[in-house]
Amino acid sequence: MAVLTAAGRRAAEGAGRGGRTTRGGGKRATRVPPVVLAFVLLPLLAEGFFVFWPALQGFYLSLTKWDGISAPQFIGLGNYREMIHDTVFHTAMLDTVLWLALFGGLSALLGLGAALLLQQERRGVGFYRAALFLPVVFSLTATALVWQAMYQPDGLINKTMSGLGLGSLTHPWLADQDTALYAVIVPALWRQVGYVMVLYLAGLKGIDPALYEAAKVDGATRWQQFRHITLPQLRSVNAVVLSVIIIDSLRSFDVVWALTRGGPYHSSELLSTYMYSAAFQSLRLGYGSALAVVIFVLAFGVIASYLIRAFKEAD
């Protein structure tokens, strides 16, 4: 397919040149019209101005001490050295890893589970899919407020627990250091599962039904079919889901910010929230930049593998 299009285009250009009989008709002189060049340069400039140039500055600023008013003062790796002894940074790092594992792992598992359940074209399945997908379109801020109401001492969660005779377990979920992080993960999951489900539904649809028929003829059980057909066939979707999840986890900010601001006592602090408060509340712009670089480093592996995959796909 890729080869075909490339060859086809070359033929098309050949025809175009022949038709217009402008310049000498050199075999491979793929001349790109200046307008077309401008088509690429304009967006590239916009991105360069608002993304690449600031990103480079961000890396530089991580090597400085800066309050945002006087000039930044170069201190080498001082900010990174400070992180080693910064207990809040340690908490934020640990919470980010926990977030990756729990938010990431559970949204992948639940998303796959939901997709397996709802892949069958039965009556009413559209409603169920829509129900799981609906939260995906909410902003994380609105999601957070929805769940904040659920978590209130007199809210539905505690009320239901008392009703079930679990009154001893009722809790100020967001105000307790031991539960705050988990209480914030739940809304994030609630919103993410539908998204992952949609990705898996598309993946499952792409599996050739003949594979299952062959397996059935061979007497394979449901589990064997799942293990030896579904999972291997979903490999490329898994890769997509994995990168989406890691990138989304490291970006997670809104839901934590809206629910706990990283508290109480930094117990639900993520690197992203710590970076924001260090930079814009404590006005330690150099240290904040260094925290952002840490986030970048954590994301780098995923970004690189994603780009390599995209590179192969872009023929």
Binding to another protein in span 72-111, by CB under 8 A: none
Please state, in angstroms and rounded to a whole number, the distance separating the CA atoms of residues 103 and 60. 32
C-alpha distance from residue 38 to each of 33, 44, 57, 262 (Å): 9, 10, 26, 45
Q: Does 156 bind another protein (CB under 8 A)?
A: yes
C-alpha span between 255 and 261 (Å, rounded): 9
Query: Cα–Cα distance between 117 and 205 in angstroms, integer?
Result: 13
- Residue at token pair 């404590």: 282
Interacting residue with another protein among 90, 182, 247, 282 (CB under 8 A): 247
In this chain, which of 142, 175, 229, 242 binds another protein, going by CB under 8 A?
Answer: 142
Contact segment (CB under 8 A) with another protein among 78-86, 89-97, 112-120, 223-231 equals 112-120
Task: Assess 169 for contact with another protein (CB under 8 A).
Answer: no
Sole window of 84-92, 96-104, 172-180, 281-289 interacting with another protein (rule: CB under 8 A): 281-289
- Which residue from 26, 76, 165, 209 is in contact with another protein, where contact means CB under 8 A? 209
* Residue 262 near residue 251 (C-beta atoms within 8 A): no
By CB under 8 A, tell whether 51 contacts another protein. yes
CA distance 166 to 226: 37
Using the minimum distance from each CB to another protein, give the nearer residue, 101 or 156: 156
Q: By CB under 8 A, is residue 229 in contact with another protein?
A: no
Rule CB under 8 A: say whether 222 interacts with another protein: no
Structure tokens of 307? 């780009």
Enumerate residues 6+ apart whose C-beta is below 8 A from 75.
Answer: 63, 64, 65, 286
Min dist CB 252 to another protein, Å, is 10
The yes or no reply on residue 11 touching another protein (CB under 8 A) is yes
Q: Which stretch binds another protein (CB under 8 A): 85-93, 96-104, 119-127, 177-185?
A: 119-127
If one counts every other C-beta atom within 10 angstroms of the C-beta of residue 127, the result is: 8
> What are 245's two structure tokens?
């999840």
Stretch that binds another protein, among 90-98, 172-180, 222-230, 240-248 (CB under 8 A): 240-248
**How far is Cα 89 from Cα 306, in angstroms, rounded to an integer?**
28
Between CA 212 and CA 207 the distance in angstroms is 9
- Rounded Cα distance, 119 and 100, in Å: 27
- Beta bridge partners of residue 64, listed in sequence order: 74
- Closer by beta carbon to another protein, 58 or else 172: 58
Question: Within 19-48, which residues bind another protein (CB under 8 A)?
Answer: 19-20, 30, 32-33, 35-37, 39-40, 42-44, 46-47
Please state, in angstroms and rounded to a whole number, the distance separating the CA atoms of residues 194 and 184: 18
Beta carbon of residue 95, minimum distance to another protein (angstroms, whole number)? 15
87 vs 154 by CB, closer to another protein? 154
Task: State yes or no: residue 149 binds another protein (CB under 8 A).
Answer: yes
* Footprint on residues 52-71 left by another protein (CB under 8 A): 52-55, 57-59, 61, 68
Stretch that binds another protein, among 5-13, 87-95, 172-180, 221-229 (CB under 8 A): 5-13
Closest C-alpha to 268, from 259, 278, 277: 259
In angstroms, give the least distance from the CB of 57 to another protein. 4
